[in-house]
Amino acid sequence: MDVSIVGAGRVGTALGVRLREAGHRIVAVSGGAATAERARRFLPGVPVVEPADAARGAEVVLIATPDDRIGEACDRIVSAWPSGEGRFVAHVSGATGLGALSSAAALGATVLSIHPLQSFPDVERALARLEGSGMAVTALSEDGFALGERLARDVGGRPFRLADQDRPLYHAAAVFASNYLVAVLSVAEDLFGRLGLERELFLPLARASLDNTAATGAALALTGPAVRGDAGTVERNLRALDRADPKCVPPYTALAAVAIELAERSGRLTPEGRRAVEEVLGRWR
């Protein structure tokens, strides 16, 4: 298929590379100041043009702009078409619904979303990580789902269907799995640093916890004072945090509450142990 990419940043460019390798023709890309150099390096021979010009010769337009610019990009795309019949417009956002593509749908185009459930800090790592990554496909028609699943497989992903109304909860879950994981590790990095200890010392522990979760699920992977009902250790942890950095106390108590809920639900924490830990947490909230 003839594909154009509007917003050829690290994600859009990586998708373009993999789609071209799968036999699709990348007819044009558009983007910001760095797009021309990025295209020269990763998509040689592909013209860099304005969004409306990129869309003119394409059967499929992938919009990979920041979320708050998807609607604007879609409007610029459809301005180049007398009709959207036979065309597909997709965005790659995890949080944005298909309503952002309403101008394309109104013109008769099939609209959909394809979101890689992965973190892409740069094009090189995006190319390496696409293979085997989950890809959420949302559409309003079977034709849209079929194309999204095909494109997801063509870039090496594992497509799964996601209803449009479920996208906000899906994205919130992804934030916990990625962004907040990094945020928690940043707190650990800072606290270890206060003791003169390097990040490399706790990374094996963090990796082991992630591996254990992958192998057994979160309930069985959970360790630590909360799952043991060890209220005394929780109290000592909180006192130490209060002395070292009081702003770490609220996230510790919030995550401890999640941990005891998980521990009791999995049958690994007695009601008495839960009450003891909750009593401590209550004093620090």
Judging by DSSP bridges, how do beta strands 134-139 and 60-63 pair with one another? Answer: unpaired
- For the residues 216-229, what does the mean pLDDT come to? 93
Q: Where are the domains of the chain?
A: 2-164, 176-284
Q: How confident is the model at residue 37 (pLDDT cuts 50, 70, 90)?
A: very high
Q: What is the pLDDT of residue 39?
A: 94
The pLDDT-based confidence of 80 (bands split at 50, 70, 90) is confident
Contact by Cβ (8 Å): 54, 25: no
Class of domain 176-284: mainly alpha
Judged by phi (left if over 0) then psi (alpha if -120 to 50, else beta), residue 93 lies in beta
Average pLDDT rounded to a whole number, residues 3-29: 96
| Mean pLDDT estimate for the chain | 95
The widest CA-to-CA distance across the chain, in whole angstroms, is 71
Q: How far apart are the first and last CA of the chain?
A: 57
What type of residue sits at position 154? D
Average pLDDT over residues 42-56: 94
H/E stretch holding 61 reads: strand 60-63
**Mean pLDDT on 117-142:** 95
CATH match of 2-164 with 3.40.50.720: yes
Query: Which helix (DSSP H) or strand (DSSP E) does residue 89 occupy?
Result: strand 88-91
pTM of the shown model: 0.91
Asked if residue 60 has pLDDT above 90, the reply is: yes
